[in-house]
Amino acid sequence: MVTTMPKLNIDSEPNNVLYRLKRGLAGYVSYLAACEMNEAFSEYVLYEPTLRILTARGYTVRCEFPCPGMPRSKSGDVKKIDFEATGHGERIAIEVKWSKTKRLNVANDFNKLAALHKDDPQSRSFLCIFGRMSIIKNIHLIGGDFTEHGDAVYADMKRTKYGCRIFEISQ
């Protein structure tokens, strides 16, 4: 389920950095598409610009950090959250997804973000969805309760139309 929030003040944190992430990722991938890098596209392409934007805004960032409150599965690694950013009196967690379909199962991401929030109720947990505008414009998130955080940002360059939406776990 997804609900929508009212307009945000993008001058305050973490609203500012989340808006910059949306703008930056849409522009960055459009640039990569102009460089014929489409074969390399996956969510991992989004990690480096995400890290740069977070640190440029003064956050201390840990990438792929172990999720507190999530036990290790018998046959797998410790569950990890893509980004933890601390600064400006905030602790935020961000999971990043590159969606290639209009229906996206986010249950694992939701469970990790919810576990972190349960461990630290003052933290804020976000899901960053990236993809082609035609896919994410009407995306259907399956397996979690989220509220969209601000408006979507799309880079419409006529041939390439990429966008980014950010959702916060509903409290």
Tell me the average pLDDT across 116-144. Answer: 95
User: CA-CA distance, 104 to 127, in Å (whole number)?
Assistant: 12
Alpha-carbon gap, residue 13 to 133, rounded angstroms: 26
Q: When comparing pLDDT for 78 and 131, which is higher?
A: 131
Quote the CA–CA distance of 75 and 98 in Å, as a whole number: 25
At 40-96, the pLDDT tens digits run: 888 999 999 999 999 999 999 999 999 988 877 766 778 999 999 999 999 999 999
pLDDT for 6 = 53
Query: Does residue 1 have a pLDDT over 80?
Result: no
What does the alpha-carbon distance between residue 146 and residue 1 come to, in Å, rounded to a whole number? 6
Mean pLDDT of the chain: 91
Confidence category of residue 171, pLDDT binned at 50, 70, 90: low
133-150: b (≥16 Cβ within 10 Å) or e: bebbeebebeebebebbb
pLDDT band for position 108 (50/70/90)? very high
DSSP structure string for 16-68: HHHHHHHHHHHHHHHHHHHTT-GGG-SGGGGHHHHHHHHHHTT-EEEEEEEPT
